[in-house]
Copies of this chain bind each other. A is one copy, B any other.
Amino acid sequence: MAKDLQISFLLDFYGEMLTEKQREMITLYYNDDLSLAEIAEDQGITRQGVRDAIKRAEQQLTEMEACLGLARRFREMRDGLSQICDETLKIAAFNRQFVLSKEIEESVSRIIETAQRLNES
């Protein structure tokens, strides 16, 4: 089965709703990049058992997102923050070239710091 990058993203939002075993296996598969066979050996179950557990977990994560859409809302926030940073850097460049205002430079720094902090949260 092909690894779906979206699953890794959804795991960050809804992972806590899975059982501990499910979360362990799907994290090994998506975030630690182990193979089904490696996870099977690690967990002491069959490769097919791991595959089924991961498929079920994927389905639950996808259903949660279809229902709540919170990962999409977060992604829009991140995209918007990135646009805000781009515009702020334009102000910074203009300021450094033509205005040389300490006030503008300080506000620019605080905007970039805030946007970076939010992007990491």
Report A's interface with B, CB cutoff 8 A.
Answer: 13-14, 16-17, 67-68, 70, 73-74, 76-77, 80-81, 83-84, 87-88, 90-91, 94-95, 98-99, 101, 103-104, 107-108, 110-111, 114-115, 117-118, 121
Selected A-B contacts with CB under 8 Å, 5 pairs: A13-B70, A16-B68, A70-B70, A74-B77, A84-B84
A88: B residues at CB distance < 8 A: 107, 111
Contact of A94 among B14, B103, B111, B121 (CB under 8 A): B103
A87: B residues at CB distance < 8 A: 107, 110-111, 114
A108 to B94, CA, bound (A): 12
A87 to B108, CA, bound (A): 8
Other than A91-B103, A95-B104, give 7 A-B pairs with Cβ distance below 8 A. Answer: A17-B68, A70-B74, A73-B121, A76-B121, A77-B118, A84-B114, A87-B111
